[in-house]
Structure 1
Amino acid sequence: MIRLAVICLIIAGIAALLGFSGAAGTFVGIAKILVLAGLALFVLFLVLGLLAGRSVSKRLD
C-alpha cells in the first residue's frame, strides 16, 4: 500500500509540473488515504501479532 502511495505522489508531482492541478490534488488525496490505510493495517497486525505471541508463550511454559 505504501508503494501505491509513493506512485500516486510521483504521478501527482508530474501532473503538477505539467499544470494539471486538479489531477495532482486528486492523486495527493489518494496517496493520503493509502498511507493512512497502510498505517492502520500495520498497527492492527502488530497488535494481533503481539497478542498471539503472548498466548503461544503462555502455552509453552
Structure 2
Amino acid sequence: MAYFINDNCISCGACEPECPVDVISAGDDKYVIDASGCIDCGACANVCPVDAPHPQE
C-alpha cells in the first residue's frame, strides 16, 4: 500500500524533505507522491499540518 496526497494539500512543502525515498514532488496545485516508490512509512503524514497524505486502500 502506498500513500497519496488528497485535496487538503496547501503546497507548504513540509512533506517533501521527510520522505526517505524521495518520491514526493510539487505538482501543479499540490504535492504528489509517486506510488510506485512509496514505502508506506507515513513520514509525510506525520509532518503535514492539514492531514493531506493518506494511505491508499
The TM-score with structure 2 as length reference comes to 0.26
Pick the structure with greater CA Rg.
Answer: 1
Higher relative contact order (CA 8 A, sep 6+): 2
TM-score normalised to structure 1 length: 0.25
> Which of the pair is proportionally richer in strand?
2
